[in-house]
């Protein structure tokens, strides 16, 4: 199954010239959702992943399902100010400014192997911030997986340049 067929493209959202890749149509399609989760899980069966970290918000849906299938815990990576307990924060660059993501200080433990999941990688800012958070807590990143890669924006290559294992289930050219 080509998962690109289950992903809606919305032109000029959130601004002119951007082709927004909307996975809500994939999430609503039982077969496509099952295929996506199975494909995200498969490379990590039997490799000793201890936790899955899902990046807000669609990474929560996907990451929770992957964690369930791998029989491991789930750790949310959230936007600044959304977690109720002590957190570790990591800033990252946006096109016009800076944003932050956070994790609870006890979300992952030193020595754990953590698989990071999100729906899409573009420039890689959020994913790189999640990597820094996890490593800052003393854990190791087992891999970083996405449903969609936008290779023209270079985020996946930035992760590979760090020596990280990466997967994307499909790619779309352009932005």
Q: Does any domain span residue 25?
A: no
pLDDT band at 102 (very low <50, low <70, confident <90, very high): very high
Question: Rounded to whole angstroms, how far apart are CA atoms 71 and 8?
Answer: 31
**What pLDDT shows up at residue 175?**
72
Q: What is the dihedral of CA 27, 29, 34, 40, to 10 degrees?
A: -40
From the list 58, 78, 102, 167, the catalytic residue is: 58
pLDDT in tens, 107-152: 999 999 999 999 999 999 999 999 999 999 999 999 999 999 999 9
pLDDT band at 96 (very low <50, low <70, confident <90, very high): confident
58 catalytic? Reply is: yes
Q: Which of 120, 136, 134, 126 is nearest to 172 (CA)?
A: 120
**What pLDDT shows up at residue 59?**
97
Q: Does any domain span residue 100?
A: yes
Task: Label residue 147 exposed, middle or buried (CB < 10 Å: 0-12, 13-18, 19+).
Answer: buried
Q: Does any domain span residue 16?
A: no
Task: Label residue 138 exposed, middle or buried (CB < 10 Å: 0-12, 13-18, 19+).
Answer: exposed
Q: Does any domain span residue 34?
A: no
Inter-CA distances, 27 with 24, 72, 115, Å: 5, 22, 20
Q: Does any domain span residue 2?
A: no
pLDDT band at 93 (very low <50, low <70, confident <90, very high): confident
78 catalytic? Reply is: no
Q: Does any domain span residue 21?
A: no
Q: Does any domain span residue 24?
A: no
Task: Label residue 121 exposed, middle or buried (CB < 10 Å: 0-12, 13-18, 19+).
Answer: buried
Does the N-terminal peptide bond of residue 14 adopt cis geometry, omega within 30 degrees of 0?
yes
For the chain, the domain total comes to: 1
Q: Does any domain span residue 15?
A: no
Domain that holds residue 95: 47-171
Return the CATH number at 109.
3.40.50.2020
pLDDT band at 94 (very low <50, low <70, confident <90, very high): confident
Inter-CA distances, 18 with 10, 22, 37, Å: 8, 12, 27
Span 85-90, mean pLDDT? Answer: 97
> Please, what's the b/e burial string for 69-105 (b: 16 or more CB within 10 A of its CB; e: otherwise)?
bbebebbbbbeeeebeeebbebebeeeeeeeebbbbe
* 3-state secondary structure (DSSP) of residue 124: coil
Q: What are φ and ψ of residue 145, in 5° steps? A: -125, 145
DSSP bridge partners of 115: 52, 143
């Amino acid at each position: 199954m080509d998962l690109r067929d289950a992903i809606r493209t919305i032109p000029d959202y959130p601004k002119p010239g951007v082709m927004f890749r909307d996975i809500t149509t994939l999430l609503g399609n039982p077969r496509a959702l099952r295929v996506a989760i199975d494909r995200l899980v498969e490379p990590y069966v039997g490799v000793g992943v201890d936790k899955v970290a899902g990046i807000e918000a669609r990474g929560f849906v996907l990451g929770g399902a992957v964690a369930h299938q791998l029989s491991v815990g789930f750790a949310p990576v959230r936007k600044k100010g959304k977690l109720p307990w002590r957190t570790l924060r990591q800033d990252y660059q946006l096109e016009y400014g800076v944003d932050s993501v956070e994790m609870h200080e006890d979300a992952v433990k030193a020595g754990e192997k953590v698989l990071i999941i999100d729906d899409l990688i573009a420039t890689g800012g959020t994913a790189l911030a999640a990597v820094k958070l996890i490593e800052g807590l003393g854990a190791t990143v087992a891999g970083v997986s996405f449903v969609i890669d936008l290779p023209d924006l270079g985020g996946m290559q930035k992760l590979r340049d760090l020596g990280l294992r990466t997967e994307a289930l499909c790619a779309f050219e352009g932005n």
